Structure 1
Amino acid sequence: MTKITGLIDQMRKKDNLLSDEADVRLLEAVASLNQISSTINRIGSDDVISSEDSLRLVVESAIRVVPGSSAVIYSYDEIRGEFDVPSRVSAGQDTEKEVSGPGENDDLPRENGFGRRAVARRRNVLSYEEADVDIHPYYGSLGVKAVGCFPLIVVEQVVGVLYMYLCEDRTFSRMELLLLDNFVNQAAMAIYHARRMSSIRRDLARKEDELNRLNRAGMLISSRLQLEETLESILQLALDMTGGHYGIFRLMDKDGKHLVTRAFAGTDMTRPKTEVLPIDGNSIMAYVARNRQPIVIPDLMAEPWSKVYYPLDAGMQMRSELAVPLINASGRLEGVLNLESPEPGAFDENQSHMLQTMATFAVTAIQEVRLLDALQEVARLIFSQPCQLVLDHLTSLACDLLNASVGALWLRYDSELILESSFGGFIHGEQVPLNGSLAGEAVINREAVVADDVRIDPRFHRQDLARAQKWARALVVPLLTIDSEMPMGAFGVYSSESDPGRFAESDWDKKVLTFLAHFAVLAIQNETRQQELRAAQEQRSVAETFAAVGDIASNLLHHLNNKVGTIPVRVQSIQDKCMPALEADAYLANNLTEIERCAMEAMQTVRDNLSHLRPIRLEPVCIEARVAEALHSAHLPPAIIVKTDGLSHLPLVMAGGQSLTFVFANLIENASDAMQGNGVIAITGSTRKNWVEIAIKDNGPGIPPELHDRIFELTYSGRA
């Protein structure tokens, strides 16, 4: 407005053209401009997105500043090169009419009229300056003498035209043209602003629809059990959202050298013409896989795409293509998602971004299915294969799932970690300290540890190996157990410098490795419990065998006792009846006495062994008496010296008396045998809080350390 006032002042000083009446018209124009600006500012608020109210104010204001005139505004679509007839807004005599299309009016802009010329020249066109163009016949019949066409331009784009019609045979004054220029700018801004708001609302509605569809895709992933079903659903959704005609998922094979068809969708489509594409081959999907970047191809018949395009269906001619790579959070290439259309230019960058989001859902589905399959396989192996094979499988599986080149599983032994299983450059049995090492930090802190470059990380113990193998990033998690605060070890994976892997950048990678670590713990614990179960079963089997042998022996000893018991009776009978003969023959008498003694000892031996085969009967027992009884029955050599200490002060204990004597006798005899009949046996007793402790020591060579763990095995004996 400052510019308008300044120009008017210049005009007043120069030629004194402005009168009091003109000043009134100027004030009215300024008020109209303010009102128009306020109306334009309301576009976009309170659901107002049309420019009609603002344009109507413009034409009404225009005819007020140009006496005896009428005005019409048409919006213009510069892309189509057409006037928008329904947008017509007018004010003034014989211009107030509703127009919806050709044939219903006579004043539509002509192809060679002033409006078209103003659009082409992008400047004002005045009829009295254009001798080669006549006034529109419709307005000529209404007595119009002069026409002014003003293009509405915003950011070099024509958005409409303002027509001003004069019924007086005169030209537009300089003040009128100046004021009309301001109205033209306001009208242009109103149309542009309304279009922008309308475009924004359409975009928001489209985005809302896309989000709803993407939410649906997310629900599809959780509701489908089969990967093929999920991929086909995502494909169909992508085709609906982009208007594509055909879609296909090709996933990487295990060797990472080929793209294999996994799912496809489309109207009246059969199997793709080519099922497998080599990554290093000459195809668009291979190109996307190698470059790991999405691509939008508006015309497949143009160079260079026409030379590398493989038709998905031999019976159809596709013209445009949209392809995006499937890359997981670790940087691993999972495959390529591809859409095609028979229409040229069917896809744009917005659809590319949308398809990349769909690809993310597909990658999530692929990862979940791969992890589920892997866990099912591991669960089967845990209960059917040795622990070492399961651990080796887990380290290999971790590298496969996380796109790592090396995997290692360490078990804790006191203050060291020993390599139990590895996939890659580590050597089985390697040792690292618990304190100060990368794996040890994961164990001590009970949480995942990440190293950006193990070649220079002081916590990594084999920097020489890391540099030689070109390892870079590392992720290590502890092997946590429920029944122990200290983890039993650590599980780590290491990436190669040449690999595009970025594992440990997302929680997914840590969760996957943690899952596998839990299965490693389960495998180790299952192996330990299996060993304990086998040992218990062996001990039970031996105990049952001994019980059976005991029953047989007890029965045998019972019969033997009966038979041997008759010998002393018969000896006494002979002695009573043949006393004179025995007194006369000393040899015969001595032999009968010896026979009687041996029989009595045999009977005592039988009774002693029978007591061991019977169940132990707990009773108060004096330790000192039982030790004395054991020493008496042991028949130690003269060179064995026995020293006792503290036995007389021991309290009575609840035990099986005969069994306790048998135990002491065995220990004393073993000590005597170990010292080869020459040495000292020390037997000491002491009282503890809830028990009595008896120690039997000798000065023999002792038991070799390698046999210590087998001392209490029921079936083991160190004797040759």
Structure 2
Amino acid sequence: MGTQIPYTQLFPRDQSSLRPCTGLLCLATRLEIAPKSGITGTCMEHQPMGKSFSTHGIPLFEMTAQPFPTSPEDTDPRLLEALRILNQISNAINRIGSDDATHDDLSLQLIVESAIRVVPGSSAVIYTYDQSTGEFEKESRVSAEPEGRKPISALNQPDDAPRPNGMGMRTIQRRHRSFSYEEPDIDVHPYHAALGVKAVACFPLIVAEQAVGLLYIYLHEERQFTRLEQLMLDNFVNQAAMAIYHARRLAGVRRDLIRKEEELNQLRRAGLLISSRLRLEETLDSILQLALEITNAQYGIFRLLDKNGEYLVTRAVSGMHLERPLVEKLPLNGNSIMAHVARTREPLCISDLRLEPWSKIYYPLDSNLEMRSELAVPLINASGRLEGVLNLESPQMGAFSEDDNHMLQSLATYAVTAIQEVRLLDALQEAAQLLISQPTQKVLDRLCAMANDLLNTSSSAIWLTNETAEMRLAASDGPTPNFPEAVKQNNALLIPLGGEAGALGMFGVFNAGTGEGRAVVRSEWDKKVLACLANYAALAVQNESRQQALRTTQEQHWTAETFAAVGDISANLLHNMNNKVGAIPVRVQAIQDKYRQMLEGDAYLANTLAEIERSAADAMQIVQENLSHLRPIRMEKVNIASRVADAIRAIQVPTGVRIETNALADLPMVIAGGQSLTFVFRNLIENAIAAMNGNGSISITGAAAAEWVEVLVTDSGPGIPPELHNQIFELNFSRTGTQHGKLGFGLWWVKTLMTRLGGSVTVESDGQHGTTFHLRLPTVEG
């Protein structure tokens, strides 16, 4: 065991072995007995008593507890002054960066002033040091002079900056304090030598292995620094290093905050650019100019992917002294940096384009300009769709930083937003034009194609709700499942039409298949886009319904006015025909009475007169029956089943024809004209019998909805070709010729009467397997 000696008496002869204490927040010093052996020490407060120090197994000493002197006469006044000063310095350092601090150099000024107080008759200077450049910052000089010595004026700044080969640079390199009397090969700085300086102490200011400055202490007398002065100066050195480090950190934070604020302002500008421009080229050009301004790049280009996904097409280009910019489209699978970024979907920052592999795939923006660095980012929307590439170039090597990369990616996001919004606006403008110029089916088909294009999906479909609340497929683009299967798919996005769930139908997008299809991204943007398209689909459906109702109303109004006028004409016509045709039977009877004997002897003449009389009577009956439908119809509550039965009884049904009725008795009452409705059914049944050539079956089936009653009249005849479905309701259309007892108006009467009754009639047939007429009439409750 080594000799026990008090800690306060343990001072080595070699002052260079003193180091700051390793105890937390301790300002004392420790003793390094053998620097090469790795032994370290702490002050008495942080070193457990009885701790033995040894090296290579040889006991050196044992630390014992012996406190510092406590009586005032045993304490050096300078030590007490130093402790008071250290508290002031610590307080000044803590105030660096606060609102009440007057200047960051206040703490350094306090340190140099304190240093000359603990070293009487000395002067002190602090210079800060930039380790990244290896140079001292001359403008950072802080100094203090003792009382009685003339201070340095602002107009006469001292020329005592550290020399490249002077004591200060050596101290920085050694990371250890230096004394002029221990460095015979280095002389005192000429400026201070001229002022009578005899000795200099130079202390490195080091924090976290980083040199941040130097503290010079100049003596104007021939002596060495005492042990106590060195100890106190060591603490000032630590405080000065922390003050500089802390101030630099705060300055760096301020710079970062200012830079971030500038970046946010620039991003706000990008947002305003998007909202203030409607044309895509204008928006892209503005964003490109902003990108050049932010990154200090000199050249830039926007290339967007074409609709087929095969080429990158130039949409905006900018740069200085561009003579012949190469703006032709680039193949996506081609050999270029922009194509590489598009394929990998990752940003790329190239500091030197001359290095491989970039030198082999670089495609110049201008063949007359040499570029050395490039920054390119892909444009990818929220749905995962590649929109294009934003590319910047510079003739300087390493022109783009990581911050530039991040900022450009932010601008690329704004560009993607602009592209999406412009594409959506174009689609909605097209949809609006389709609504007013195209039939509903074409509108729905185009909306499905738009959904796939805007949301980058493989399939889309629109289902509409029918009278039985079932979803039927109305339009689609791509492979489409039925509605129950589509609802179960996780890889789908469905939006209701008309606001309420399933009110009018559903609009859905999805990706078919399990392996190749991209998952549908249910982002807010995707939902809003599909909701916009769904609203247009709902408008198309509602518009069709309203137009149909309007056409029906107009047709009913037109028909009513027409029939009112024709009714008056028909009444006059019937009166005149009664007068003229009614005279025929009277004339015939007079002939028969006057020439009875002659007629008895001439059978041909008697039969001819009888046929004339019968034909005249039939003609009057036919005219009365048909013209009666031109008069106003008296609307009343009508039972469908009874009117169908009346129509069947009025017809001579061939033996080869079978007529069946289904679910007619349970139908609710409808509002119609009884005689007119009977005529409609009779006309349809007679047409069916004629189409089947008197051999086949006819079924009459009823179905009730909320406001309508629908009656289906179906025959087993050859059917009606689809191209004739509209023609059959035209006036005087007939494929079989005018039947006996009819005027030849055919189905025109049926459609006209159904319109006057507030209903409708449509035909369904493929032209090969029979025909079905759909009759719809409003119910009494509806």
TM interval, shorter chain, is 0.7 to 0.9
Q: 1:599 to 1:416 in 2, by over 3 A?
A: closer
| Closer/same/farther in 2, CA of residues 245 and 49 from structure 1, 3 Å limit | farther
User: How far apart in 2 are the matches of 1:505 and 1:25?
Assistant: 74
1:558 Cα deviation from its structure 2 partner: 3.9
CA contact (8 A) 2:304 2:313 kept: yes
Where 2:196 maps in the other structure, the secondary structure is: coil
Equivalent of 1:97 in 152, 155, 167: 152
**Distance change in 2, residues 1:303/1:68 (3 Å):** farther
Aligned partners of 1:49 and 1:194 also within 8 Å? no
Q: Is contact 1:86–1:99 with CA below 8 Å preserved after alignment?
A: no
Match of 1:396 among 444, 449, 455: 449
Partner of 1:684: none
Say if 1:191 and 1:555 are closer, same or farther in 2 by CA, change over 3 A. same
1:408 matched to 2:456? The reply is no
The aligned counterpart of 2:289 is: 236
Counterpart-to-counterpart distance in 2, 1:661 and 1:307: 85
1:563 corresponds in structure 2 to 580
Cα 1:95/1:72, change in 2 over 3 Å: farther
Following the alignment from structure 1 to structure 2, what is the Cα–Cα distance between the partners of residues 259 and 115? 59
Question: Does residue 167 of structure 1 match 2:235?
Answer: no
Deviation string, structure 1 residues 485-526 (Cα, Å, up to 9, x no partner): 634234222276666956434200111122222333334445
2:28 paired with 1:4:
yes
In the other structure, the counterpart of 1:320 is: 373
Q: Offset at 1:285?
A: 1.7
Secondary structure of residue in 2 paired with 1:331: coil
Q: CA deviation at 1:72?
A: 0.4
CA gap of 1:351–1:48, structure 2 versus 1, over 3 A, is: farther
3-state SS of paired residue (1:256): coil
C-alpha distance in structure 2 between counterparts of 1:390 and 1:417, whole Å: 19
Counterpart for residue 205 of structure 2: 152
Residues 106-255 of structure 1 aligned to structure 2 (within 5 Å): 106-255=159-308
- 1:612 maps to 628
Q: Which moved more, 1:294-303 or 1:605-614?
A: 605-614
Per-residue deviation, 1:298: 2.2
**Structure 2 residue corresponding to 1:375, chosen from 428, 437, 440:** 428
Distance 1:375 1:176, change over 3 A: same
Q: Contact between 1:404 and 1:496, CA under 8 Å: does it hold in 2?
A: no
1:251, 1:262 within 8 Å by CA — same for their partners in 2?
yes
1:521 aligns with 2:538: yes
Structure 1: distance between partners of 2:102 and 2:511: 57
Write the distance in 1 (CA, Å) between the matches of 2:200 and 2:134: 22
Q: Note the C-alpha offset of 1:257.
A: 2.6
Q: Does the Cα contact within 8 Å between 1:88 and 1:99 map onto a contact in 2? A: no
Range moving further from structure 2, 225-234 or 137-146: 137-146
| Counterparts in 2 of 1:606 and 1:411: CA distance versus 1, 3 Å | closer
CA distance in 1: counterparts of 2:197 and 2:750, whole angstroms: 124
- Distance in 2, matches of 1:338 and 1:296, equals 10
Paired position in structure 2 for 1:475: 492
Secondary structure of 2:511's partner? strand
More helix by share: 1
| Structure 2 equivalent of residue 470 of structure 1 | none
1:269 corresponds, among 313, 316, 322, to: 322
Aligned to 1:449: none
1:109 match: secondary structure: coil
Which residue number corresponds to residue 358 of structure 2? 305
Report the TM-score when normalising by structure 1: 0.74
What is the CA-CA distance between 1:248 and the residue it aligns to? 0.9
Question: Structure 1 residue 53 and structure 2 residue 90: aligned?
Answer: no
CA offsets 1:143-198 (integer angstroms, 9 cap, x no match): 32211111111222211110011223222222222221211111111111111212
How far the C-alpha of 1:566 sits from its partner, in A, is 3.9
The code of the aligned residue for 1:347 comes to F
Alpha-carbon distance between aligned partners in 2 of 1:417 and 1:656, rounded to the nearest angstrom: 35
SS in 1 for 2:265: helix
Corresponding residue to 2:396 among 343, 358, 367 = 343
8 Å contact kept, 2:581–2:620: no
**How much has 1:258 moved relative to structure 2?**
2.2
- Any idea what SS the aligned residue of 1:714 has? helix
In structure 2, C-alpha distance between the alignment counterparts of 1:60 and 1:378, rounded to whole Å: 80
C-alpha contact (below 8 Å) 1:151/1:161 kept by paired residues = yes
Shift of 1:548: 8.8
Partner of 2:76, secondary structure, is: helix
SS of the aligned residue for 2:303 comes to strand
| CA displacement at 1:238 relative to structure 2 | 1.3
1:81-107 superposed Cα distances (whole Å, 9 cap, x missing partner):
22212211111245842568xx95332
CA-based RMSD: 4.9
TM-score by length of 2: 0.68
Deviation, 1:360, is 0.7
Cα pair distance change 1:497/1:289, threshold 3 Å: farther
Residue 128 of structure 2: SS of its match in structure 1?
Answer: strand
1:129: how far off?
1.3
Unaligned 5+ segments in structure 2 are 1-24, 30-41, 46-62, 654-670, 691-712, 720-724, 730-746, 753-760, 764-770, 773-782
Q: Which residue of 2 aligns with 1:75?
A: 128
Contact map agreement 1:74 1:160 (CA 8 A) in 2 = yes
CA spacing shift, 1:497–1:40, aligned 2, 3 Å: farther
Which amino acid letter does the alignment assign opposite residue 476 of structure 1? Answer: L
Take 2:74 and 2:113, find their aligned partners in 1: how far apart are those partners?
A: 19
Q: Which amino acid aligns with 1:616?
A: P
Aligned to 2:525: 508
Report the CA distance between 1:380 and its aligned residue: 3.6
| 1:486 matches 2:508 | no
Cα distance in 2 between the residues matched to 1:120 and 1:3: 24
- How far apart, in 2, do the equivalents of 1:634 and 1:344 lie? 101
For structure 1, which segment, 220-229 or 489-498, has the greater mean C-alpha deviation from structure 2 after superposition? 489-498
Size of the aligned set, in residue pairs, is 629
The worse-fitting range, judged by mean Cα deviation, of 492-501 and 83-92 is 492-501
Does residue 27 in structure 1 map to residue 64 in structure 2?
no
Structure 2 residue corresponding to 1:331, chosen from 362, 377, 384: 384
Does the CA contact (< 8 Å) of 2:97 and 2:104 recur in 1?
A: no
Query: For 2:444 and 2:504, how far apart are their aligned partners in 1?
Result: 16
SS at match of 2:396: coil
The letter for the 2-side match of 1:563 is: K
- How far 1:390 sits from its partner (Å)? 3.9
Counterpart CA distance in 2 for 1:228 and 1:248 is: 12
Whether contact under 8 Å (1:539, 1:714) holds in the other structure is no
Measure how far apart 1:345 and its partner are: 2.2
- Cα deviation, 1:521-552, whole Å, max 9, x if unaligned, reads 33444555666677778888988998898777
The Cα shift of 1:563 comes to 2.6
Q: 1:543 to 1:703 in 2, by over 3 A?
A: farther
Query: CA offsets, 1:34-56, max 9 Å, x none?
Result: 11111111111117484310001
Residue in 2 that maps onto 1:358 = 411
Partner letter of residue 506 of structure 1? S
**Conserved 8 A contact 2:380-2:388:** yes
1:458-473 mapped onto 2 (5 Å cutoff):
459-460=488-489
Contact 1:214–1:358 at 8 Å: present in 2 too? Answer: yes
